[in-house]
């Protein structure tokens, strides 16, 4: 039962954190373009770094899930 929560919980959590980091970066970037000085360069830089890290983690997770689905399709095709 706990494996089910881990199997679905980890991808959902990573996706949610990625979406939040994307929203925070875009909000700071757009707000700073409309009203310069509303966010410091350091804040935008830290949000950018967090977005890059979460993009890498999300991409690796996406590749693992796609690879798992492809392996399942191959295993069903060769049964």
Report pTM: 0.79
pLDDT tens readout for residues 54-70: 999 999 999 998 898 89
**pLDDT tens, position by position, 13-56:** 999 999 999 999 999 999 999 999 899 999 999 999 999 999 99
Q: What is the DSSP string of the chain?
A: -HHHHHHHHHHHHHHHHHHHHHHHHHHHHHHHHHSTTSS-HHHHHHHHHHHHHHHHHHHHHHHHHHHHHHHHHHHHHT-
């Amino acid at each position: 039962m706990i494996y089910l929560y881990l199997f679905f919980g980890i991808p959902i959590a990573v996706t949610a954190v990625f979406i939040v980091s994307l929203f925070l970066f875009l909000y700071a970037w757009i707000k700073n373009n409309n009203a310069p000085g509303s966010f410091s360069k350091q804040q935008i830089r830290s949000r950018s770094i967090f977005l890059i890290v979460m993009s890498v983690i999300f991409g690796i997770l996406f590749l693992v899930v796609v690879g798992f689905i492809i392996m399942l399709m191959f295993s069903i095709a060769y049964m």
